[in-house]
Amino acid sequence: MSKRLDAVTIPKWGIEMTQGTIVAWHKDEGDTVKAGEEIVDIETDKIVNSFEARSSGTLVRILAEVGEELPVGYLIGVIASEVVTDDATEAFIAAQINDEDAVSEEETVSAAPRSIVPRMIALRLPA
């Protein structure tokens, strides 16, 4: 997380939660938000929850539309704690997307089955 920019992502509210659907945005791009303020409603398999901003600032980007079903961790918005340029915001978004891709690749690699090599142990039994 940048000191000036904070990623708003689909949270993981339960052990089995893998995705969420955007139900409603309570803020528009350019609106001021306060930490702890509800900014978006997200539907899971079981319930609709309101997601609260982790930081105060301006909601500079909304990247997900109402009705979109997205995986946990997906970038849906950006909050700026101070004035930032569009270029800085775009660079932050690109870095977040690249980080998500790297995590996905790591998960794919770590999920590959590992080979198990049996080891022989010599046992001495009493005669």
C-alpha 1/C-alpha 119 separation (Å) is 45
Q: In a 3-state reduction of DSSP, which class is residue 87? A: helix
For residue 40, count CB atoms less than 10 angstroms from its CB and return exposed for 0-12, middle for 13-18, buried for 19 or more.
Answer: buried
Over residues 89-104, the pLDDT tens digits come to 889 888 887 665 544 4
Fold of 5-110: OB fold (Dihydrolipoamide Acetyltransferase, E2P) (2.40.50)
Angle at the Cα of 65 from the Cα atoms of 53 and 89, rounded to 5 degrees: 60
Residue with tokens 């005669």: 127
Whole-model pTM? 0.72
Over residues 12-67, the pLDDT tens digits come to 988 888 999 999 999 999 999 999 999 999 999 888 999 999 999 999 999 999 99
